[in-house]
Amino acid sequence: MNMPATRRPHNAVPAPKQPIALLSDFGTRDGYIGAVKGVLCRLAPGVPLLDITHDIPPGDIAAARWTLLNCVREFPPGTVFWAVVDPGVGTERPPLAVAYGKRWFVAPGNGILDWVLGKGAKAVRLQPGKVGIKELSRTFHGRDLFAPAAALLATGTPLDSLGKPFTLDLTHMGLPKPRRDGQGWMGEVLGVDRFGNVVTNLPGKLWAEGCRLAAGNLLVDGCYRTYDDIPLGKPGVLVSSLGTLEAAMRGKSFAAESGVIAGDRVRWFG
């Protein structure tokens, strides 16, 4: 018996829709992120919208780069990341859409994507006309340019149709690498979380050596498995969730006590 080829059983499970993940410094007080979500709901109805955070400090590209690094790998293939921390909005900084690792990104080309992209990333410079924009404000590209681009990618529009090919500078892509010298390892603070824990780019395998970490005005000589193992009020070194070395202080902010911020140098003596 022949069955109609185009008929779908009434109880068939619809194809899953991949989310648009949102990260910005917009906060939630002023309605800016609400306007962005309105555009996304209008242009990509039914696509899940997931908030990574909108509490990035205003204009803090380094914090946005660090936050993306922490979460990108946890999202499923097909996710579109709308990442807008854009102090240069309206300037010549390039507005980008990028495909990499079976995920898509729309963001200003200001370094925010540097730690989540790598060799093989393909980018276009967004063009308003190609994403259906007739009027583009000079102050709200997150709503007027990046949101329509994200909606188009989430609903299957090819990357190439959104703008002109753009060559990424791969020398800036990927995590900064620690350097070995005669005293041990010189590394860098990747980020500081809200608890004041300081995550570095030093490889986690160094933890087993039980050496000393110099960060800011603190010298840490204790290695621990968990935060709770660290003596109250004392600093310690753990292996972070990224697999790199992390410095923490139980009951206090290690960052505040040591004076270090993202980008500062740290040294591991070994």
Q: Give the containing element (helix H, strand E) for 187.
A: strand 184-192
Whole-model pTM: value is 0.89
Mean pLDDT of the chain: 92
- Which one is the CATH code of 20-172: 2.60.120.10, 3.30.420.610, 3.40.50.10790, 3.90.650.10? 3.40.50.10790
Q: At residue 8, does pLDDT exceed 70?
A: no
Q: At residue 32, does pLDDT exceed 80?
A: yes
Q: Encode pLDDT of 164-179 as tens digits.
A: 999 999 888 999 999 9
For the chain, the residue count is 270
Sequence-separated (6 or more) residues with CB below 8 Å from residue 188: 176, 178, 200, 201, 263, 264, 265, 266
First to last CA, the chain: 76
Fold of 179-269: Elongation Factor Tu (Ef-tu); domain 3 (2.40.30)
d(CA 174, CA 102): 17
Q: How confident is the model at residue 13 (pLDDT cuts 50, 70, 90)?
A: very low
Of 117, 144, 245, the closest CA to residue 185 belongs to 245
Q: At residue 223, does pLDDT exceed 60?
A: yes
d(CA 149, CA 237): 42
3-class DSSP assignment, residue 57: coil
The residue written with tokens 């007080």 in the block is 29
| Exposure on the CB side of residue 233, measured as CA atoms within 13 A | 0
Q: What would the mean pLDDT of 38-61 be, rounded to a whole number?
A: 97
Q: Encode pLDDT of 98-152 as tens digits.
A: 999 999 999 999 999 999 999 999 999 999 999 998 888 999 999 999 999 999 9
Q: At residue 17, does pLDDT exceed 90?
A: no
List, in sequence order, every beta strand (DSSP E) within 59-156. 80-84, 95-100, 103-108, 122-126
Domains in the chain: boundaries: 20-172, 179-269
Q: Encode pLDDT of 190-217 as tens digits.
A: 999 999 999 999 999 999 988 899 999 9
Choice between 174 and 11, residue whose per-residue pLDDT is larger? 174
Instruction: Return the axis-axis angle of helices 147-154 and 32-43, rounded to nearest 10°.
Output: 30
Q: How confident is the model at residue 18 (pLDDT cuts 50, 70, 90)?
A: confident
Q: How confident is the model at residue 12 (pLDDT cuts 50, 70, 90)?
A: very low
The sign one gets for the Cα dihedral 220, 57, 24, 98 is negative
